[in-house]
């Protein structure tokens, strides 16, 4: 995690609260979208990189390479790399 220093000069409390509120709302919206996506009708769910690699019986490095080459792209949320189980199933069927 990279730490950054922020200096707030010439900003009043109301503006500061507004900026913080917008940032929190953005993060909450991202989490809400991910939660809604993970509860779709097909019963699909997200797996972590480790879980996805185990599911496909490949190394995490191979999975990382598949993501970087867009063969099997992942979704990212707050630094977490996630894969849809349906994407993994489709990949395993076409690459069996």
How confident is the model at residue 39, as a pLDDT? Answer: 53
**15-94 belongs to CATH 1.10.1660.10:** yes
Please give the Cα distance from 25 to 50 (Å, whole number): 29
Ramachandran category for residue 49: left, alpha or beta (phi over 0 → left; psi -120 to 50 → alpha): alpha
* Per-residue pLDDT tens digits for 46-75: 999 999 999 999 999 999 999 999 999 999
Q: Is the dihedral of CA 49, 70, 78, 7 positive or negative?
A: positive
Domain residue ranges in the chain:
15-94
pTM for this model (two decimals): 0.57
């Amino acid at each position: 995690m990279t730490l950054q220093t922020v200096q707030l000069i010439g900003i009043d409390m109301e503006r500061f609260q507004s900026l913080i509120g917008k940032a929190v709302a953005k993060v909450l919206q991202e989490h809400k979208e991910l939660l809604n996506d993970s509860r779709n009708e097909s019963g699909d769910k997200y797996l972590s990189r480790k879980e996805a690699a185990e599911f496909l019986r490949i190394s995490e490095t191979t999975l990382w390479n598949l993501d970087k080459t867009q063969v099997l792209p992942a979704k990212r949320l707050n630094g977490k790399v996630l894969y849809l189980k349906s994407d993994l199933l489709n990949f395993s069927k076409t690459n069996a």
